[in-house]
Amino acid sequence: MATFRFEALKAASNRKPVSVSETGKKSEIFGSNVFNDKAMRQHLTPEAYKAVRSAMDHGTKIDRKMADYIALGMKEWAIGKGVTHYTHWFQPLTGTTAEKHDAFFETSFDGSDPVEKFSGSLLVQQEPDASSFPNGGIRNTFEARGYTAWDPTSPAFIFGTTLCIPTVFVSYTGEALDNKTPLLRALLAIDEAATEVAKFFDKNVKKVTPTLGWEQEYFLIDAALAASRPDILQTGRTLLGHVSAKGQQLEDHYFGSIPTRVLNYMRDLENECMLLGIPVKTRHNEVAPNQFELAPIFEETNLAVDHNSLLMDVMQKVAERHDFKVLFHEKPFKGVNGSGKHNNWSLATDTGVNLLAPGKTPNSNLQFLTFFINTIKAVANYEELLRASIASASNDHRLGANEAPPAIISIFIGQQLTKVLEELEGVSTGKLSPEEKTDLKLNVVGKIPDVLLDNTDRNRTSPFAFTGNKFEFRAVGSTANCATSMTTLNTIVAKQLIDFKKEVETLVEKDGLKKDEAIFNVLREYIKQTKNILFEGDGYSKEWEEEAARRGLSNHKTTPAALKAKVSQKALDLFAEINVMNNTEVEARYEIELEDYIKKVQIEGRVLGDIVRNHIIPTAFKYQNLLIENIKGLKDIFGKDYEELAAEQMMILKKTSMHVNELNSKLHLMMDARKEANAMNSIEETAHAYCDNVKPYFDEIRYHADKLELMVDNELWTLTKYRELLFTR
Ligand code: ADP
Ligand code: MG
């Protein structure tokens, strides 16, 4: 008997919903574990408060003396809430967050004068022994020091009994070793570039803030069932398992009533999010069984990125209380939908305007069109780099694989805006007559319908869609740190806006055009140049892949192929020009991501080998022994007639033997391919070898294992089955 599986099933099906205590109004507890504006005003001196505010709003520096005062206030606030430890909280290039807790507690060396201490220098900068974080060769091992530095734009928060201080993580020579540093640089760049362009329309704009509202999809699996699957435990996905008879065909899960056990988990999670100031708002069932989604109110991008990283951590911790395991993997189960993390993105001015929202006047609409068309142009110019920004071993299962959308970046804008762009394109060049100007303003720009928010013809198959007042980058993977895609998107749009401004100014200065005329002229050219990236049809169809190839759009189906664009001369120049990353930083990241890819596929290969050897094949043998016993018995009783009577048994015996043999030989071939891949001369070659020569065996091996699952006695099968993983709740 496959005891572990059945014990897990028993535990899972006997679970009762864990009760969650009511916390009262969300607005009353929101942010109470965050050192936010209110807490700062209560716990800091007016000077210290002003210093932090100015650092947050204008990026000014905080001197050491002031940092001491701030640290003091922060410590008082935290200790008042039962906090004992503090940590610099950062996002190294491991895909998760990192923390090293230190106690506030200090004594003199002889043990006297115990006291709670926290100084400005500890707040501002620390040197974790971080020699084990990926650095892509930036740090020499003998100079393994990197340091973390306080990011005052993302407020400190309390998690458990620890004060967490968001920080950047950089090498001693100043190179970025984390996700936050390049993001902050990209956000600064787009602020500057977009402010300059926004001033064409309103002189009062002083700051433009990129906004991000992510949507996090995930699967919830009973903890005991998850633990019964070595593949889920070690790779976050199922490497084997025959698809269950009922999957998502009936579409009875999407937006369906949320099971009580899950609902209680969500409520508990939302309470934690409220305390941490993560403004979660939406929760619902997703398409696949046991798949769900969570979305917050959008925020400033740096804060939103921190909140998403924090959320993923909190989700797993709260799940433990409810005996669930959260699966963030992009494709945990074959045959049902995978998970993404839609990144909704826009630009907001300090005058309260969403630059990607069509306005009510021709002037505000021209401003909208400017930012709208420049974003399209940026994506058209750098589609390959944008694709690279979302590449990972796990997202490969969601982009360009079987049952997945293609890995082609295109933009959906909807019928109405398509028409507006067509009309704008028809406008004549150069100077405009007064009649032409009036016509343009009133009839083309003026009539952009302000009902776009109810853009009903939304296209769910588009990887990058305009959805009324924001762009939604849908191809981002559910495990991803939003920083990578957001750094790239904000960098390419910053670059585009800088170029746009120059082009407009040249037309004004050299050709004597009026500003509006110049803007129209440049935008019209952009519309002509960017037709290839716009696509309104079914992004999942075979025809689109062919059409995209004719258009010259990239279609990199795998991570090793997609990542290459990151280190193209074009990308290196871009990141350097916009001051987001120097060449060394970009190249280091490329290496780290390739390494990560290799390790992930390598681990999957090993886990698959173990499961086949230790679970599948021994189980097949056990079943064969049952069959043999049965056949022998029939022979004993019926003599010669047994052949006819045992026909089915003998056939199963033969078939199972065939599958076991195939499994064995494929496992050997996979091992040889791994050895070959490991022996390659460069990390690039190794990554390609894992992708092209090792990974294909996964499907071949799975085919035979899944066939055996269908044949072998259910009582003997040790691996928890798909129907059990997906339908226990
Ligand atoms: P859907 O699933 O239909 O796309 P959701 O309500 O699940 O819609 O998600 C919409 C997301 O868009 C939310 O995360 C929301 O915060 C975000 N969003 C809305 N407006 C903006 C904006 N101006 N900038 C960035 N994100 C936004
Ligand atoms: Mg969405």
Summarize pLDDT for 436-481 with one digit per residue, the tens.
Answer: 777 777 777 776 765 565 554 567 889 999 998 999 999 999 999 9
Average pLDDT in the chain: 92
C-alpha–C-alpha distance, residues 86 and 252, integer Å: 46
Mutate to test the pocket of ligand 1, among 280, 298, 464 (most ligand atoms within 8 A of CB): 298
Atom of ligand 1 nearest to the CA of 354: 23
Q: Is residue 620 a contact partner of residue 705, using CB atoms and an 8 Å limit?
A: no
SS3 87: strand
- Beta pairing partners, 292: 218, 285
Please name which ligand lies nearest the alpha carbon of 349: 1
Does some domain include residue 415? yes
Query: The CATH number of the domain where 687 resides is what?
Result: 1.20.120.1560
Between 257-261, 527-531, 536-540, 644-648, the lowest mean confidence (pLDDT) is in 257-261
SS3 324: strand
Mutate to test the pocket of ligand 1, among 284, 470, 472, 486 (most ligand atoms within 8 A of CB): 470
Q: Shortest CA distance to 194 belongs to which of 206, 204, 182?
A: 206
Q: Do 625 and 573 have their domain in common?
A: no
Task: Provide the pLDDT for residue 112.
Answer: 80
Task: Provide the pLDDT for residue 581.
Answer: 97
Task: Provide the pLDDT for residue 144.
Answer: 56
pLDDT at 612 over 90: yes
Query: Cα separations (Å) of 382 from 45, 279, 343, 554, 573?
Result: 47, 32, 17, 10, 12
Q: Do 278 and 339 have their domain in common?
A: yes
Q: Do 113 and 240 have their domain in common?
A: no
Q: Do 439 and 335 have their domain in common?
A: yes
> pLDDT tier at 487 (50, 70, 90 boundaries)?
very high
Please name which ligand lies nearest the alpha carbon of 340: 2
Atom of ligand 1 nearest to the CA of 215: 14
Q: Do 45 and 144 have their domain in common?
A: yes
Task: Provide the pLDDT for residue 453.
Answer: 54
The more confident residue out of 560 and 141 is 560
Task: Provide the pLDDT for residue 140.
Answer: 58
Domain finish residue from 137, 154, 178: 178
Query: The CATH number of the domain where 450 resides is what?
Result: 3.30.590.10
Residue 214 CA to ligand 1 centre (angstroms)? 7
DSSP H or E run through 185:
helix 180-198
SS3 content of the chain, % helix, strand, coil (to 5): 55, 15, 35
| 442 in contact with ligand 1, CB cutoff 6 A | no
Q: Is residue 545 a contact partner of residue 404, using CB atoms and an 8 Å limit?
A: no
| 282 in contact with ligand 1, CB cutoff 6 A | yes
- Look up the domain containing 126 and give its range: 31-178
* pLDDT 10s digits, 543-555: 999 999 999 999 9
Task: Provide the pLDDT for residue 141.
Answer: 47
Task: Provide the pLDDT for residue 411.
Answer: 97
Task: Provide the pLDDT for residue 106.
Answer: 82
Task: Provide the pLDDT for residue 452.
Answer: 60
Q: Do 257 and 286 have their domain in common?
A: yes
Q: Do 171 and 262 have their domain in common?
A: no
Report percent pLDDT > 90 for the chain: 75
Residue 361 CA to ligand 2 centre (angstroms)? 28
HEC per residue, 665-693: HHHHHHHHHHHHHHCCCCHHHHHHHHHHH
Q: Do 656 and 565 have their domain in common?
A: no
Q: Do 151 and 243 have their domain in common?
A: no
* pLDDT 10s digits, 37-72: 999 999 999 999 999 999 988 888 898 899 999 999
pTM exceeding the 0.75 threshold for the entire prediction: yes
Task: Provide the pLDDT for residue 402.
Answer: 77
Does some domain include residue 11? no
Task: Provide the pLDDT for residue 359.
Answer: 82
Q: Shortest CA distance to 193 belongs to which of 492, 495, 488?
A: 495
Q: Do 511 and 611 have their domain in common?
A: no
* pLDDT 10s digits, 141-154: 445 578 888 999 99
In this prediction, residues 544-567 reach a mean pLDDT of 97
Task: Provide the pLDDT for residue 139.
Answer: 61
Domain count, the chain: 3
Please name which ligand lies nearest the alpha carbon of 254: 1
Between 171-175, 234-238, 376-380, the lowest mean confidence (pLDDT) is in 171-175
Does some domain include residue 3? no
C-alpha–C-alpha distance, residues 45 and 67, integer Å: 12
Residues less than 5 Å from ion ligand 2, measured at CB: 215, 342
| 344 in contact with ligand 1, CB cutoff 6 A | yes
Task: Provide the pLDDT for residue 117.
Answer: 85
Task: Provide the pLDDT for residue 342.
Answer: 95
Does some domain include residue 440? yes
SS3 210: strand
Please name which ligand lies nearest the alpha carbon of 293: 1
* pLDDT 10s digits, 115-140: 888 988 889 888 876 667 788 777 65
In this prediction, residues 492-502 reach a mean pLDDT of 98
> pLDDT tier at 400 (50, 70, 90 boundaries)?
confident
In this prediction, residues 611-625 reach a mean pLDDT of 98
The more confident residue out of 131 and 314 is 314
Does some domain include residue 10? no
pLDDT at 354 over 90: yes
Q: Do 91 and 220 have their domain in common?
A: no
Residue 344 CA to ligand 1 centre (angstroms)? 6
pLDDT at 650 over 90: yes
Does some domain include residue 25? no
* pLDDT 10s digits, 72-109: 999 999 999 999 999 999 999 888 888 888 888 888 87
Task: Provide the pLDDT for residue 561.
Answer: 98
pLDDT at 423 over 80: yes
Q: Is residue 673 a contact partner of residue 609, using CB atoms and an 8 Å limit?
A: no
Size (the chain), residues: 729
* pLDDT 10s digits, 178-236: 999 999 999 999 999 999 999 999 999 999 999 999 999 999 999 999 999 999 999 99
Q: Do 633 and 684 have their domain in common?
A: yes
Domain finish residue from 531, 553, 581: 581
Does some domain include residue 159? yes
In this prediction, residues 690-705 reach a mean pLDDT of 98
Query: Cα separations (Å) of 583 from 188, 587, 654?
Result: 19, 6, 59
Which residue shows structure tokens 């889920």? 232
Residue 275 CA to ligand 2 centre (angstroms)? 25
| 453 in contact with ligand 1, CB cutoff 6 A | no
Query: The CATH number of the domain where 51 resides is what?
Result: 3.10.20.70
> pLDDT tier at 248 (50, 70, 90 boundaries)?
confident
Does some domain include residue 12? no
Residue 442 CA to ligand 2 centre (angstroms)? 33
> pLDDT tier at 704 (50, 70, 90 boundaries)?
very high
- One-letter amino acid at 230 equals P
In this prediction, residues 394-398 reach a mean pLDDT of 96
Domain finish residue from 178, 206, 224: 178
pLDDT at 296 over 90: yes
The contacts of residue 507 (CB under 8 Å, 6+ apart) are 513, 517, 518, 521, 522
Residue 213 CA to ligand 1 centre (angstroms)? 5
DSSP H or E run through 148:
strand 146-150
